[in-house]
Amino acid sequence: MTEPRHAAPDEEQPQVVVNDRRRIDPETGEVRASADATTEEEGAAPVEDAPVVAEIVDEVAAELKTQLDERTADLQRLTAEYANYRKRVERDREAVINNAKASVAAELLSVLDDVERAAAHGDLTGAFKAVADKLVSTLQKTGLEPFAHEGEAFDPSVHEAVQHSTSPDVDGPTVTAVLRRGYRFGDKLVRPALVAVTDHEPAAAAPQAEES
């Protein structure tokens, strides 16, 4: 049988640590503070550091807001520039299309003049009339618009006067004959109208009867 081994007098004994986890102190009867609460209190920032932390947070928040406002303004500016670019491209595209249509229509004005003269002489009949009506309708659908009629006011920006006369029957320069129809395409003048213009002429005073 093995005898228990006794430690030598100079040999160190292991230290035994006993943790008393009782909530109530057996000696004083008071409630002990928990270890977790003590640890939290030890790890918490000192109260006097709170204003400094709040100031730093405010500075960071202000800087972030400034950057956000700048990025928002940049985005809004880019959006506006892109919208203006799209509008400009769309206007340019429409202008190119309209100019192309006006150019094609201008090449056919002589044909329209022949059609109008034939209609005035009563020669626009049968199949020729059907083709002429279709041509005129198609050109008008693309935007070609004829103008100049007898009795309208003379406008030098769209009328070209080739004949001139005077009459007391008009109040001012008036178109009294259309020698060649004018045409416009939208706001663009394709060809001015050739017209005869009559200006106002005051009526002659009636002669007075001679006294006997």
Domain that holds residue 93: 52-142
Instruction: List phi, psi (to 5°) of 195.
Output: -135, 160
Same domain for 196 and 121? Answer: no
- At 164, which CATH number? 2.30.22.10
Same domain for 98 and 163? Answer: no
Where does a domain end: 142, 159, 192?
Answer: 142
Pair 153, 189: CB distance under 8 Å: no
- Burial of residue 41 (number of CB atoms within 10 Å: 0-12, 13-18, 19+): exposed
The count of structural domains within the chain is: 2
Task: Tell me if 65 is assigned to some domain.
Answer: yes
Whether the full predicted model's pTM is greater than 0.85, yes or no, is no
Query: What is the pLDDT tens value at each position of the chain, 212 positions in all?
Result: 555 555 555 555 556 555 666 666 667 766 666 555 444 445 554 555 677 788 888 888 888 999 999 999 999 999 999 999 999 999 999 888 888 888 888 889 999 999 989 988 888 888 889 999 999 999 988 889 999 999 999 999 999 999 999 998 899 999 999 999 999 988 889 999 999 999 988 866 555 555 54
Same domain for 126 and 169? Answer: no
Task: Tell me if 121 is assigned to some domain.
Answer: yes
